[in-house]
Amino acid sequence: MAEPAAKKLKTGAELAEDDAPVDESDSKGVRVLHQTKVFNDSVHGHIELHPLLVKIIDTPEFQRLRFIKQLGMCYFVYPGASHNRFEHSIGVSHLAGELARSLQLKQPKLKITKEDILCVEIAGLCHDLGHGPFSHLFDQLFIPRILPDYDEQHEKLSVDMFDHMLEKNNLKKEFEKHKLDGTDITFIKEQIVGDREDIWSYEGREVKKSFLYEIVANKRNGIDVDKWDYFARDSLYLGISNPFDWRRFLKFARVLDEHDGKQICTRDKEINNLYDMFHTRYTLHRRAYQHRVNKILEAMLVDALCAADDHLVFEGKNGEDCKMSEAINDMEAYSKMTDHVMWDILSSRNKELKKAKDIIHRIMKRDLYLYVGQTQLKKKPEEVSPTQTPPDEASQELLINEDNARREIYNKLTKRQKEDVEENDIVIQIASFNYGMGERDPVKHVKFYSKNNPNKADEISRDSMSLPREFSERFLRICTKEKVGQVPVREAFNEWCTTKGFSPTFPEASS
C-alpha cells in the first residue's frame, strides 16, 4: 500500500504577494516554515521581515509612527518631505539585518546566532518608538521649554514605549516562540539607548560580542544603519543628492579585536566613502534640518504647543488625563500623541486654546515670524584643534547662550522701542552644522585594515589626503514675532554684534 503523499508546502510564488517562507529549526533540529512579510520599500526595494517583526509592526504603538513626520516641520518647506517614522524604522531594521548577516557570513568565528540577528533587527525596528509629535521638535524643543530640568532623549522614551508595547500586546509570548528570553530583551533595549562606557557595563551580550552594539546606534564613531537609512530616505524625499554608498561599506565591513572590545572596521581605501557619509549629514542639516524657514516654523509650533499644554489632554493609564508634557511619564497617554495635535488644537472649541490656535493659523497662512539676520559664531579656544586657528587668535572667541543673547540684544533697545517690543518677541536660534561629533573628526574614531593585513586594525595616515580642515560651523540667527519689531531689533542686533566682534549679515530689503 502506497504511503499517503506528504502535505505540500506552498512555495513563495504561491503565497500572497506580500508573504514569503523563511526556514528555521526547532529544538530538535526539524525545519519549520514561518511566514515572512515582503515590503516594497521606496528606498530599499522589496525586503523580507521576520514574523516577529511583523507582530511588532501590527501593534497600535508601532502603527502610531505612520502619523509622525520624519522631518517634522520640514514638510512645510520641502513639499516632498512627507515620509514618516514608520517606514524609516522598517528600513533601519532591514539594514541592521543586512549588516549582521554580512558579518555572520564573512566571519563565522564571531558566532553570530540567528537570535543575535533577530535582536538587532528588533532594535532597529523599535529605536524610534519614543518620538513625539513632529519628531525631534518634541523632545529637543518643546519638552525643554516646559521642563527645563528634563535631560532625557527620545531613546529613553523608545525603551519605555517598547516595554509598554510588550506588556499591552502580550508580545513576550511571541518572543519566547522564537527563543528570545529576558536577556535578549535587555540586549534590544541596550541597543536602543546606545550608551557606551569605557568599562563594559552591558548585560544583554558579553564583551566578545560588543560589535553588535555598533550596528543600530554606534556611539564610538557614528557609523550605523540608522544614519544609512535616513541619509538615503531623507535625501530621496528632499531631492538632495546622497553620495554615500552603504552597500559598498557593507562589502568591506569586518570585525576586528581592539583593546576595548571587538569593533566594526573597514578597508583603508574606504576613507573617502566615510567622509562622504559624514558630509551628507552636514549637508542635510545645512540645507534641510536647520533650514532657516524650517527653524522659524519650529519656533512657531513650539510656541503653540507651549500655549496649549495646560489645555490639551490625553487619556493615560487608569483613565487619568495627561497634559502633553506629562505624557512622557505615561506611555498610555503618549501612545495617543502624534502630529495630529496640531489639528486637535485647530479643531477644538476650547477658548483656552485661542493663543495656540492663532499661532497655527499664522503658519497656515504663511504669516511667519520675521527673519532679522544672522552671524557666524566662532569657537572657544578649547574647541580649536592644533591644525586650525592658533589658540592666541581664538582667545576672544565666545560660546553664546540663546537666552543670554536674547536678553543682551533686548537691553540694547531704547526705552521707546521697548514699548513696542517685548523680550519674548525676539527669537534666538543657534544652528550647528557638523560631521556628527562637534568639532572632532569622526573618522579618527574609525579603525581600518589593509588588503595585505585584513586581521589587524589600525588608524590611517591622513598626511597625503585632501581632507576637511574644519568639521563644524555655528550660526546665531535672530527673528522677531511681529513686524513692528523688525527694524529696532535689527539695529540692536547690529550693535550687539559690533560689541562681540561678530560680522552680522542681513537679508536684502524687498523692493
Active site residues: 154
Strands of the 45-49 sheet, one edge to the other: 19-25, 31-41, 45-49
319: left (phi over 0), alpha (psi -120 to 50) or beta: left
Query: 36: which strand partners?
Result: 20
Q: How far is Cα 101 from Cα 250, in angstroms, rounded to an integer?
A: 10
Q: Which residue type sits at 164?
A: H
SS3 content of the chain, % helix, strand, coil (to 5): 50, 15, 35
Q: What is the DSSP string of 478-500?
A: EEESSGGGHHHHHHHHHHHHHHH
Q: Which residues neighbour 119 within 8 Å (Cβ) at sequence distance 6 or greater?
A: 180, 184, 187, 188, 191, 204, 212
Q: How far is Cα 87 from Cα 67, in angstroms, rounded to an integer?
A: 11
Q: Find, among 139, 163, 137, the residue nearest to 151 by Cα.
A: 139
Q: Find, among 92, 35, 42, the residue nearest to 65 by Cα.
A: 92
Q: How far is Cα 45 from Cα 233, in angstroms, rounded to an integer?
A: 12
Q: How far is Cα 191 from Cα 162, in angstroms, rounded to an integer?
A: 12
Query: Could you give the maximum distance between any two Cα atoms of the chain, in Å?
Result: 107
CA dihedral 479, 399, 151, 148 (to 10 degrees): -50
Q: Find, among 23, 19, 24, 53, the residue nearest to 36 by Cα.
A: 19
Q: Which residue type sits at 124?
A: G
Contact 397, 381 (CB under 8 A): yes
